[in-house]
């Protein structure tokens, strides 16, 4: 990016999980972030410093927005410092496009399990009819999505699914379903190790939304695990073939 950044990673620390996140939509590259804004005056419908975002992506030699897959980010993957961690540890490449979104009927809740590497309680996605919660959508290239597979433990803790729930992007467009990493059925059982368990936590009969309780309190919660995450999903086998953003809107 040729312009000065709007923020750097240090402005948004990753700990405690899930870290802090910028308001609105942004592109992160090289430890720096740049706000992007919706606009109907450019083909991609998104601008960076008044310029079509696709033009900026082309200068980096990467795919335009329309060729990317939307993947819901509801935990630490909206945190810029975590994105740089993915670059350093897992080889994530290229600008990461993060579009703000309002999710209808799906929420981030605290898991009954904890993370193996630091004992913090991770987020899992759960159904909660009637609730609207703000998260974000990564518009990913195939190699970026492969990095997310590794980070999320696809096949161990999480599975990649098409989640059937409306998601309204900050440019006003609505996805009737979205790709997301959700708990594997095997990770919803009571007999799995705590580091693999991704069942939603139930306290006093209710799921605990991440938006309501911070990590410092979440790690001390005592409850039981839900029997289901309440989501309507279709698991993706192998490589997702789409739809890309352009295919969703024609």
Predicted TM-score (pTM) of this structure:
0.95
* pLDDT tens figures, 67-98: 999 999 999 999 999 999 999 999 999 999 99
pLDDT tens for 110-130 read: 999 999 889 999 999 999 999
- Tell me if 89 is assigned to some domain: yes
Name the domain count of the chain: 1
- For all residues of the chain together, what is the average pLDDT? 95
pLDDT digit string, tens, across residues 221-250: 999 999 899 999 999 999 998 788 888 876
Query: 14 is in which domain, residue-wise?
Result: 7-236
In this structure, how many other beta carbons lie within 10 angstroms of the beta carbon of residue 224? 12
User: Is there a domain that residue 245 lies in?
Assistant: no
Has residue 244 been placed in a domain? no
Residue 246 lies in a domain: no
Question: Is residue 195 one of the residues assigned to a domain?
Answer: yes
Beta-carbon contacts of 117 under 8 Å, excluding residues fewer than 6 positions away, are: none
Domain containing residue 64: CATH number? 3.10.490.10
Mean pLDDT calculated for residue range 189-194: 88
Burial 162-185 (b: 16+ CB within 10 A, else e): bbebbbbbbbebebebbbbbbbbe
Q: Is 74 inside a domain boundary? A: yes
Does any domain span residue 52? yes
pLDDT in tens, 35-53: 999 999 999 999 999 999 9
Assess if residue 1 is contained within a domain.
Answer: no
């Amino acid at each position: 990016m040729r312009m000065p950044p709007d923020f750097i990673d240090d402005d948004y620390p990753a700990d405690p999980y899930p870290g802090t996140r910028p308001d609105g939509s942004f592109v992160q590259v090289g430890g720096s972030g740049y706000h992007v804004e919706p606009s109907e005056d450019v083909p991609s419908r998104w601008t960076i410093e008044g310029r079509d975002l696709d033009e900026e992506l082309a200068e980096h030699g990467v795919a335009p927005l329309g060729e990317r897959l939307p993947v819901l980010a509801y935990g630490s993957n909206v945190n810029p410092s975590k994105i740089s961690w993915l670059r350093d540890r897992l080889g994530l490449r290229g600008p990461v496009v993060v579009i703000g979104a309002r999710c209808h009927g799906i929420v981030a809740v605290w898991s009954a399990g904890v993370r193996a590497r630091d004992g913090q309680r991770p987020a899992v996605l759960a159904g909660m009819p009637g609730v609207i919660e703000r998260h974000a959508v990564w518009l990913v290239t195939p190699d970026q999505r492969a990095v997310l597979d590794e980070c999320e433990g696809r096949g161990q803790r999480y599975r990649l699914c098409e989640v059937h729930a409306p998601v309204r992007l900050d440019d006003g467009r609505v996805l009737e379903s979205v790709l997301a990493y959700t708990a594997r059925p095997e990770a919803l059982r009571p007999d799995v190790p705590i580091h693999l368990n991704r069942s939603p936590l139930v306290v006093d009969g209710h799921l605990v939304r991440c938006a309501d309780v911070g990590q410092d309190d979440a790690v001390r919660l005592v409850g039981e695990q839900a029997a289901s995450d309440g989501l309507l999903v279709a698991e993706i086998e192998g490589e997702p073939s789409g739809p890309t953003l352009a295919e969703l809107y024609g």
